[in-house]
Amino acid sequence: MDWLAALSREFAPDATAPYADIRQAALRRVGARGLPTPREEAWKYTDLKPYDGAGDAARSQAQPSPLALLETGGPQLVFVDGVLDAARSSLSALPAGVRVRTLSQVLREEPDAIAQAMARYTAEDAQIFAALNAACARDGAVVELAAGATLAQPLVVAFLNTAAATRLFTLPLVVVKAGAQSALSLLELHYGAAGATNHSNALCDIEADTGSRVEHYRLQAEASGAVHIGNLRLGIGRDARVASHSLAFGGRLARLDINAELTAPGGEVVLNGLFQAGAGQHIDHQTRIDHAAPHTTSHELYKGLAGGDGRGVFRGQVLVRKHAQKIAARQASHNLLLSPLAEIDTKPELEIYADDVTCAHGATVGQLDDTALFYLRSRGIAEAEARALLVFGFTQEVVEQVAFEPLRNWLAETLAGSADVPLPERVELAS
Amino acid sequence: MLQIENLQVEVDGKPILRGLNLDVPAGQVHAIMGPNGSGKSTLAHVLAGKPGYTVTGGSVRFNGRDLLALSPEERAGEGVFLAFQYPVEIPGVNNVYMLKAALNGIRKHRGLPEINAVEFLQQVKAKTAALGLKESLLNRPVNQGFSGGEKKRNEIFQMSVLEPQLAVLDETDSGLDIDALRIVAEGVNQLRDPARSFLVVTHYQRLLDYIVPDVVHVLAQGRIIKSGPRELALELEARGYDWLLQAVA
């Protein structure tokens, strides 16, 4: 199967569509370039070829369900197989200055509202899947906060995939414009029910204006037969702070590219990540933080787990431009291999052209500590539970930073509950 | 309660214990003393089931059961507790959470239902108070950022919650100043009970000033070479181990 052919069959942008010229340009770029191959640095560890066709529906298992997060009573938009589920969506009681619309509504009524954001993805260096989404997306969420507006209760935008989907592809798109001094908390949820074999190609574009605060959670719990490719762009203005937490558990292939652009002094970005690649899963994160202005700050903490023959990839690029003096950048990538067949590749890449900066990075790949395991067992805790407890402990540094309580509790339960699932084989140490 | 017969243990093919015999009846405190490298910690580890040791001969029976056939968690379920010489730090797992998992693991082994959460917290709080432990330590990750004294006290605290029948104290005095040593020893003394036995492994006799043993054993070259009353420890303190080693040789 040819992804591009399938996409253009399912989502051909018609010439009369809104910002059709931009969409056509994006699609032309994709056509000219083709799909990336492992010869490109960004795709070195992720070969798309084996994922060309649909997954095996009969073997596609669901992750622990995060659907309880749709019962918090807060504002939410729910899409099922790419189509709005109006009954489960609720945008009543949004505070003044907060506007949330579906993408389809915006495309009908005011396409100019997102034309500028979408135009970014026609650029020469736009990531190919981001360009594809920008060219073809039909529905999703457009969130606009006027200057000073605050949405305290998190907005949930959920993309649910089921075995009943008639299309192979879904193209979730979320566009956020946070005005000056505004504050927003957003959960972008991707979930696949058992039997789902969707190819999701998601894009989220967040522009945070002067002094704004954005807390973004991205929970990816696609079914094990799904392919999930995501792009996230964070534009961070003067004195703005954006924290984005990527929590990735699902998909046979899951890939997320994050581009954080610190464009003005005082900007701060927090990128936290937690991924768990079990048997048959490949989860790849590529993050790029661009310190394009002086006096900007970045904190990055990724924790990775791989069990069975699972595979994890983390690449953390930090670019400090020549004039970006007095910046501070901290990056840590810590990973645990839970079985002899698991593999995690982690690659910090710091490119620093300014001379008055504070940069620190650290990357580790290890196994569960045998001494700690014995300590817990000697207290009466069964081996499987002791292992789950150590894994749980390993993830806490990231989980604790999740301020949205229902999500934090869901994570804690899911991670602690991994004692109930069969744990991967391990090599017995000679005794 | 604990019967060790002719126990032989190797590490990486090197014999460490070479025919050790020991009998600890219920309610008694037995001290194991000996020079460095005599096999004291090996004995403590083998009793708790630490991987990495190969038992090449002999037997260990605990209340009549073959202890060596059990996993570490099963031994804990049967009532064995090891207070570590170097308590392990476990980031991200708080003390109370671990203790509850431990207590429930032990209860499960004994066919008992899980403990009620409220009851558990009450028990834990009462025991922290009894040991003079700061309650704030309960919600901190296990041993992380604890001082040396706090770590050892936390071991005794865990012991008090898990209520073992046999407590093995592996060099619990190491790294403690005299005040911390006294506090830890008081904690142990509170737990002395006619149904509970202690095996106190130590290099120095000063711990035994505070935890008064019923019997003192001298372990050297992988065997118990002498056993005696409490006064034996004082004699060792005064004369060292050489006279005994020469007598054996």
Q: How far is the C-alpha of A288 from the C-alpha of B215, rounded, in Å?
A: 66
Question: Can you list the alpha helix ranges (DSSP code H) found in A380-426?
Answer: 383-399, 405-416
Residue at token pair 């935890």: B211
Question: What local confidence, expressed as pLDDT, does residue A430 receive?
Answer: 32
Residue at token pair 């592996």: B170
Question: What local confidence, expressed as pLDDT, does residue A12 receive?
Answer: 66
- Work out the burial of residue B119: count CB atoms within 10 Å of its CB; fewer than 13 is exposed, 13-18 middle, 19 or more buried: exposed
Predicted-complex ipTM score: 0.96
CATH of the domain at B229: 3.40.50.300
Look at B48 and A378 and tell me if their CB atoms are within 8 Å.
Answer: yes
Q: What are the residues whose beta carbons fall under 8 Å from the beta carbon of A228, sequence distance 6 or more?
A: A190, A199, A200, A202, A220, A222, A250, A251, A253, A254, A255
Q: How far is the C-alpha of A397 from the C-alpha of A274, rounded, in Å?
A: 10
> Diameter of chain B by CA atoms?
59
What's the gap in Å between the CA of A63 and the closest CA on chain B? 23
Q: How far is the C-alpha of B116 from the C-alpha of A147, rounded, in Å?
A: 51
Element (H, E) at B145: none
Query: Does A18 have pLDDT greater than 80?
Result: no
For residues B220-232, average pLDDT: 92
Three-class SS state of B227 = strand
Would you place residue A125 in the very low, low, confident or very high pLDDT band (cuts 50, 70, 90)? Answer: confident
Q: Tokens representing A341?
A: 């067949």
Look at B53 and A389 and tell me if their CB atoms are within 8 Å.
Answer: no
Instruction: Confirm if A161 and A223 have CB atoms less than 8 A apart.
Output: yes
Q: How far is the C-alpha of B156 from the C-alpha of B150, rounded, in Å?
A: 10
Strand-pair category, A343-352 with A183-192: unpaired
Q: What one-letter code names the amino acid at A324?
A: A
Would you place residue B210 in the very low, low, confident or very high pLDDT band (cuts 50, 70, 90)? Answer: very high
Q: Which of A252, A203, A207 is nearest to A230 (CA)?
A: A203
Work out the percent of chain A whose per-residue pLDDT is above 90. Answer: 72
Residue B73 has its nearest CB partner, among A370, A383, A396, at A383
Q: How far is the C-alpha of A197 from the C-alpha of A193, rounded, in Å?
A: 9
Chain A positions with Cβ closer than 8 Å to B: 369-372, 374-383, 385-386, 389-390, 392-397, 429, 431
Q: What are the residues whose beta carbons fall under 8 Å from the beta carbon of A322, sequence distance 6 or more?
A: A353, A354
Q: How far is the C-alpha of A40 from the C-alpha of A24, rounded, in Å?
A: 25
Look at B54 and A431 and tell me if their CB atoms are within 8 Å.
Answer: yes
Number of independent structural domains in chain B:
1
Question: What local confidence, expressed as pLDDT, does residue A418 receive?
Answer: 56
For residues A302-325, average pLDDT: 96
Model confidence over B152-178: pLDDT tens digits?
Answer: 999 999 999 999 999 999 998 888 888
Strand-pair category, B80-83 with B166-170: parallel
For residues A344-358, average pLDDT: 95
Look at B90 and A372 and tell me if their CB atoms are within 8 Å.
Answer: yes
Q: How far is the C-alpha of B106 from the C-alpha of B124, rounded, in Å?
A: 16
Would you place residue A297 in the very low, low, confident or very high pLDDT band (cuts 50, 70, 90)? Answer: very high
Model pTM score: 0.89
Chain B positions with Cβ closer than 8 Å to A: 48-54, 71-73, 75-77, 81-82, 84, 87-93, 97-99, 101-103, 105-106, 109, 141, 158, 162
Look at A378 and B77 and tell me if their CB atoms are within 8 Å.
Answer: no
Q: Which of A241, A244, A310 is nearest to A274 (CA)?
A: A244
Beta bridge partners of A302: A273, A333
For residues A383-394, average pLDDT: 92
Question: What local confidence, expressed as pLDDT, does residue A19 receive?
Answer: 67
Q: How far is the C-alpha of B217 from the C-alpha of B229, rounded, in Å?
A: 9
Please tell me what DSSP assigns to residue B155. H
Residue at token pair 């379920």: B77
Q: How far is the C-alpha of B153 from the C-alpha of B169, rounded, in Å?
A: 12
Look at B90 and A393 and tell me if their CB atoms are within 8 Å.
Answer: yes
Q: What one-letter code names the amino acid at B222?
A: G
Look at B92 and A375 and tell me if their CB atoms are within 8 Å.
Answer: no
Please tell me what DSSP assigns to residue A334. E
Collect all residues of chain A within an 8 Å Cβ-Cβ radius of residue B50.
Answer: 374, 378
How many residue contacts between A and B have a Cβ separation below 8 Å? 91
Q: What one-letter code names the amino acid at B14?
A: K
Q: Tokens representing B142?
A: 């296990």
- Work out the burial of residue A103: count CB atoms within 10 Å of its CB; fewer than 13 is exposed, 13-18 middle, 19 or more buried: buried
Query: Which residue in A378, A391, A411 has the most chain B C-beta atoms within 10 A of its own C-beta, making it the best mutation to test that interface?
Result: A378
Look at A379 and B76 and tell me if their CB atoms are within 8 Å.
Answer: yes
Query: Does B1 have pLDDT greater than 80?
Result: yes
Domain encompassing residue B87: 2-248
Q: How far is the C-alpha of B108 from the C-alpha of B112, rounded, in Å?
A: 5
Go through B191-225 and write b for each residue having 16 or more CB atoms within 10 A of its CB, e for each that does not.
Answer: beeeebbbbbbbbebebbbbbebebbbbbbbbbbb
Model confidence over B27-56: pLDDT tens digits?
Answer: 999 999 998 889 999 999 999 999 999 999
- Chain A residue with CA closest to B110: the answer is A380
For residues A255-280, average pLDDT: 97
For residues B198-205, average pLDDT: 91
Please tell me what DSSP assigns to residue B196. B
Which region holds residue A109: left if phi is over 0, alpha if psi is between -120 and 50, else beta? Answer: alpha
